[in-house]
Structure 1
């Protein structure tokens, strides 16, 4: 049952995001905070989903590319943060990196899902 749940959440990270959102809203009763917590908690789900979609579409692992993108964003974001504030505030920096990666992998998930659907429909 646990493996089925994990596989479903990785395959459909929007469902995982929504479950996290609902749980957080019930606990905190604050929708804006629930949105942030759900987004922060589902980054790994979206990264895994992007990895598996790319593997299914092209038949090879792109883990190195996903990790390179993640660390490149961290590097650029750290440099920009340092330029803007003159000092590095770790907590604020990590939150920013994590949220930018959420936005990127969320968009990648949507684009790759659409591409995968269209490519399978056309090739069938």
Structure 2
């Protein structure tokens, strides 16, 4: 059980490591780098969401669970509306992939921003 806990904690703390590990595994098995980037992004999105949540809890000692849910739902609503307005039809598989990948990009950006902010704030504002 401790190995599972260690792996889970590592992936939540360092989701870029989870992304890279998935990417390397996929490149070795498929020999297709573009597909490997997409699969790694798809599989590691949840780790970035968890990392953003825990960084927020660590920095400000409050839960951002509802804010994260709101972000996820707003992205889903916007993507559904855009998909419908462009295609005049909703293809669930394409819609879900678009929502999932946009969430990956947003939470990757949030992770990088919050990690940078956390490092700078801990270096300069704590003794």
- TM-score class normalised by the smaller sequence: over 0.9
* Selected match of 1:106 from 105, 108, 116: 108
Instruction: Give how far 1:123 is off.
Output: 1.4
Partner of residue 46 from structure 2, selected from 33, 44, 65: 44
Indicate the residue corresponding to 2:121 in structure 1: 119
Structure 1 stretches of at least 4 aligned residues deviating more than 6 Å after TM superposition:
none
| Aligned ranges 1:1-124 → 2 under 5 Å | 1-124=3-126
The CA RMSD over aligned residues, in Å, is 0.5
- CA displacement, residues 26-73 of structure 1 (integer Å, 9 cap, x when unaligned): 110100000000000010000000000000000010100001100100
TM-score, reference length from structure 2: 0.96
Inter-partner Cα distance in structure 1 for 2:9 and 2:16:
13
**Structure 2: 5+ residue runs without aligned partners?**
none
SS of the equivalent of 1:42 reads helix
**Structure 1 alignment gaps of length 5 or more:** none
TM-score calculated relative to the size of structure 1: 0.99
Task: State the 1:2 CA deviation.
Answer: 1.3
